[in-house]
Chains A and B, each alone.
With several copies, the nearest count.
Chain A
Amino acid sequence: MAGVAIARALNMGLRKALEADSKVIIMGEDVGKLGGVFRVTDGLQKDFGEDRVMDTPLAESGIIGTAIGLAMRGYRPVCEIQFDGFVFPAYDQIVNQLAKLHYRSQGLVKMPVVVRIPFGGGIGAVEHHSESPEALFAHVAGLKVVACSNAADAYTMVQQAVASDDPVVFFEPKRRYWERAEFDANAPLADAVPLHAARVVRPGRDITVLTYGPMVKTALDAAKVAAEEGHELEVVDVRSLTPIDWDTICDSVRRTGRCVTVHEAQVFLGVGAELAARVTERCFYSLEAPVLRVGGYATPYPPSRMEEHFLPDLDRVLEAVDRSLAY
């Protein structure tokens, strides 16, 4: 199939999920006629009806809370949170209820709920529209947290998330929504890489770059430039933030002996902290340098005219790579 944008790939994946199981329901603000502010659910209400693609009242806790009830009744809700910054009114329902119900009921109550969140900055938006809150979910036991970085993954991962009997917080790289890639939409889902596997997206021998979501492209761009300078970066798309595929990651770091993590979220207690801590623990004798972390600064996300300096870019990645190589 010709190049498909990520937003469109998600749309196709959701359509497949709706077709595959009549219990799948899409719900959220403006997901119906409008098709979502990013058009990810475009056309789905028209084809599947208002009962299956449901505009909700403007209340995020209500969305997740009723999705939990629907899941208890046997449905598989896929909730859209309009922007990263607007998930917090639902945080209690996600953390205290959605994440815990399976455990609390000793496995009797399944929670096959997907919470889709477009995340990250770089689109020149006003405040609360550019946040990267993934660490605030990844720390919560009972949730699964994933981030897609390209159209092929978007298409399969969203279907895998809907098929999961566990709650999945599904981060979509907002600023890459319109980036295109080719993939085979007819490849059987069962053949796809598992949802929780990391993937080496560019092999290299000198240093491992761990990243996910919108920064995968940035890391790949950096790898190209580095290659010109003679440094081979191995870029790993972590993909799943809870659980993390340590085997793939540590295998890479043991080979390269160096590691840099990259995400948009604030470095302080970001996912990079866990990556750095555990990689160091597991690969201690292989590391030539400490794991270095690239990410947002310890301030709130700034006004958009400054965001390009807040967000890691190719140069910040390369700067960290250079520092690591200098050890």
Chain B
Amino acid sequence: MVAVSSMDVATSSEFVQLLTPEGQRLENPEYPLEITPEEVRALYRDLALVRRFDVEATALQRQGELGIWAQLLGQEAAQIGSGRALAPGDMVFPTYREHGVAWCRGIPPEKLLELFRGVNFGGWDPGRHNFSLYTIVIGAQTLHATGYAMGMQRDGAEDAVIVYFGDGASSEGDVNEAFIFAASYNAPVVFFLQNNQWAISVPEERQSRIPLFQRAHGFGFPGVRVDGNDVLACLAVTRKALQHAREGQGPFLIEAFTYRMGAHTTSDDPTRYRLASELETWKLRDPIERVKAYLSRGGFADSSFFDSVESEGDELAARVRAACLSMPEPKPIDIFDQPYAGGSPLVDEERATFEHYQAGFAEEGGR
């Protein structure tokens, strides 16, 4: 007999969940998680602060201070859960939406605004934070992540790589090639797919007719679906996946099933393609509310804690806003800054011409 389709699994809508939308703690023997109330409070703080940051950035865009903003609203748990599972030596390859993961890597949030304001293509040092630049070309970073993991392997490092991508991205050739290379070389890389169910206006079903975590099985490595709105489950599953990678067992795919509660970006208008009721359903599964419920019900946090996080958020927002407004403007001449490590006579020449032109122009006072 031949092996046949794994369609039976396909219809499963189950996922790893350790905290229900109502804030109830579940156990899962495969993904045990021992966590102290203090740690949960820390996670709550992360979640609340990155949301507050995201709201502020959205406001800054509305006020014309950013060219565009890619909101993470609704995906905080997927990002904080996975981000907090990382060890310092692990390397992260984000898309353009991983503000929560950046937060976990210690990148000052205002730095994230620089790309979206248009002053540079990423304001942080990827090497210092072990957090690569945002990648906008869908899926391209999954191959970089795999190559980086192959490098770690050669170095004998005990670290792993995590790479983020979306449900839409799963259709790009690059992502599938990344699966192939990672499996072939048994590279220590965790593929973290945030299935927020939309690729701009295109629903997940256009990309795959079976749940996306199953994609991994066809490439010969494990794939798991986790409740992407459950920070504890995301933490536990990512830890296990990273462990798997570190131990030399190769790649692992995590599909965090979540929902993009906002627009694709501030340029998008989701009312054109999806029903408001969908959002209502997902509000009931809000990734932050359930942590709050858990902490409150269990008596692990009181209103003074929540209040203090809230005011911390407001301070953060104010700081970010101030930083954004006082962000130095790049100088025109910076155009010529560093296209090549080894320089280029053509660039040098054009820079000189440009300087001369600008100077002459300044003299003339323009036409």
Judged by a CB distance under 8 angstroms, whether A297 is at the interface is yes
Judged by a CB distance under 8 angstroms, whether A257 is at the interface is no
Contact of A66 among B133, B181, B201 (CB under 8 A): B181
Judged by a CB distance under 8 angstroms, whether B24 is at the interface is no
Task: Verify A58–B272 contact, CB threshold 8 A.
Answer: no
Least Cβ–Cβ distance between A54 and chain B, in angstroms: 8
Give residues of chain A (13-65) contacting chain B, Cβ–Cβ below 8 Å: 29-30, 32-35, 37, 51, 55-59, 61-62, 64-65
Q: Mark B345-367, 1 if CB is under 8 A from A, else 0.
A: 11100100010010001000011
- Of B47-55, B170-178, B298-306, the segment with at least 4 beta carbons within 8 Å of chain A is B170-178
- How many angstroms between the C-alpha atoms of A173 and B273 in the bound complex? 26
Residues of B within 8 A of A185 (CB): none
Task: Verify B342–A105 contact, CB threshold 8 A.
Answer: no
Task: Verify A73–B148 contact, CB threshold 8 A.
Answer: yes
CB closest chain-A residue, reference B270: A34
Give residues of chain B (166-193) contacting chain A, Cβ–Cβ below 8 Å: 168-169, 171-174, 177-178, 180-181, 184
- How many angstroms between the C-alpha atoms of A74 and B340 in the bound complex? 17
- Of A175-183, A201-209, A304-312, the segment with at least 4 beta carbons within 8 Å of chain B is A304-312
Task: Verify B337–A69 contact, CB threshold 8 A.
Answer: no
Residues of B within 8 A of A303 (CB): 115, 118-121, 330
B interface residues, tally (CB under 8 Å): 77
CB closest chain-A residue, reference B125: A108
Least Cβ–Cβ distance between B262 and chain A, in angstroms: 16
Least Cβ–Cβ distance between A45 and chain B, in angstroms: 10
Q: Mark B192-206, 1 if CB is under 8 A from A, else 0.
A: 000000011110001
Contact of A65 among B119, B146, B339, B342 (CB under 8 A): B146
Task: Verify B147–A68 contact, CB threshold 8 A.
Answer: yes
Task: Verify A55–B335 contact, CB threshold 8 A.
Answer: no
Residues of B within 8 A of A309 (CB): 332, 335, 354
Judged by a CB distance under 8 angstroms, whether A107 is at the interface is yes
Task: Verify A33–B143 contact, CB threshold 8 A.
Answer: no
Q: Mark A233-269, 1 if CB is under 8 A from B, else 0.
A: 0000000001111100000000000000000000010
Give residues of chain B (76-102) contacting chain A, Cβ–Cβ below 8 Å: 96
Task: Verify A102–B339 contact, CB threshold 8 A.
Answer: yes
Residues of A within 8 A of B350 (CB): 297-298
Task: Verify A35–B272 contact, CB threshold 8 A.
Answer: yes
CB closest chain-A residue, reference B337: A106
Contact of B122 among A68, A69, A96, A105 (CB under 8 A): A105
- Known interface pairs A32-B201, A61-B143, A315-B366; A124-B67 also in contact (CB < 8 Å): yes
Residues of A within 8 A of B200 (CB): 29-30, 34, 37
Task: Verify B143–A58 contact, CB threshold 8 A.
Answer: no
Judged by a CB distance under 8 angstroms, whether B43 is at the interface is no
Task: Verify A299–B151 contact, CB threshold 8 A.
Answer: no
Judged by a CB distance under 8 angstroms, whether A192 is at the interface is no
- Known interface pairs A303-B118, A303-B119, A304-B118; A69-B149 also in contact (CB < 8 Å): yes
Contact of A243 among B144, B272, B345 (CB under 8 A): B345
- How many angstroms between the C-alpha atoms of A103 and B137 in the bound complex? 16
Contact of B340 among A59, A129, A166 (CB under 8 A): A166
- Of A3-11, A86-94, A149-157, A283-291, the segment with at least 4 beta carbons within 8 Å of chain B is A86-94
Give residues of chain B (133-161) contacting chain A, Cβ–Cβ below 8 Å: 133, 135-138, 140, 142-152, 154-155
Least Cβ–Cβ distance between A73 and chain B, in angstroms: 3
CB closest chain-B residue, reference A304: B118
Judged by a CB distance under 8 angstroms, whether B29 is at the interface is no
Least Cβ–Cβ distance between B209 and chain A, in angstroms: 11
- How many angstroms between the C-alpha atoms of A59 and B138 in the bound complex? 9
Judged by a CB distance under 8 angstroms, whether B237 is at the interface is no
Contact of A72 among B147, B178, B357 (CB under 8 A): B147
Task: Verify B341–A102 contact, CB threshold 8 A.
Answer: yes
Task: Verify B181–A57 contact, CB threshold 8 A.
Answer: yes
Task: Verify A62–B335 contact, CB threshold 8 A.
Answer: no
Residues of B within 8 A of A297 (CB): 335-336, 347, 350, 354
Judged by a CB distance under 8 angstroms, whether A116 is at the interface is no
Task: Verify B136–A126 contact, CB threshold 8 A.
Answer: yes
CB closest chain-B residue, reference A109: B126
Task: Verify B267–A69 contact, CB threshold 8 A.
Answer: no
- Known interface pairs A126-B136, A225-B367; A58-B122 also in contact (CB < 8 Å): no
CB closest chain-A residue, reference B148: A69
Least Cβ–Cβ distance between A302 and chain B, in angstroms: 5
Residues of B within 8 A of A64 (CB): 143
- Known interface pairs A104-B121, A105-B133, A298-B350; A126-B116 also in contact (CB < 8 Å): yes
Give residues of chain B (232-280) contacting chain A, Cβ–Cβ below 8 Å: 267-268, 272-273
- Known interface pairs A58-B207, A62-B181; A97-B122 also in contact (CB < 8 Å): no
Residues of A within 8 A of B181 (CB): 56-57, 59, 62, 66
- How many angstroms between the C-alpha atoms of A142 and B121 in the bound complex? 15
Judged by a CB distance under 8 angstroms, whether B14 is at the interface is no
Residues of B within 8 A of A279 (CB): none
What is B's interface to A at a CB cutoff of 8 Å?
A: 67-68, 96, 115-122, 125-127, 132-133, 135-138, 140, 142-152, 154-155, 168-169, 171-174, 177-178, 180-181, 184, 199-202, 206-207, 267-268, 272-273, 329-330, 332, 334-342, 344-347, 350, 354, 357, 361, 366-367
Given A59-B180, A70-B150, A305-B118, output 17 extra A-B contacts at Cβ < 8 Å: A29-B199, A33-B272, A34-B272, A58-B169, A58-B172, A58-B202, A61-B173, A62-B173, A69-B146, A89-B174, A103-B339, A107-B338, A107-B341, A110-B341, A144-B340, A304-B118, A307-B118
Can you report 27 residue pairs joining A to B where beta carbons are below 8 Å apart?
A30-B201, A33-B272, A34-B201, A34-B272, A57-B171, A58-B168, A58-B169, A58-B171, A59-B171, A59-B180, A65-B174, A65-B177, A67-B147, A69-B149, A73-B148, A89-B173, A102-B338, A102-B339, A104-B122, A108-B127, A141-B339, A144-B344, A245-B345, A298-B347, A306-B334, A306-B335, A309-B335
Top 6 A-B residue pairs of the complex, sorted by shortest distance between their CB atoms: A69-B147, A65-B143, A73-B151, A66-B147, A304-B118, A34-B201
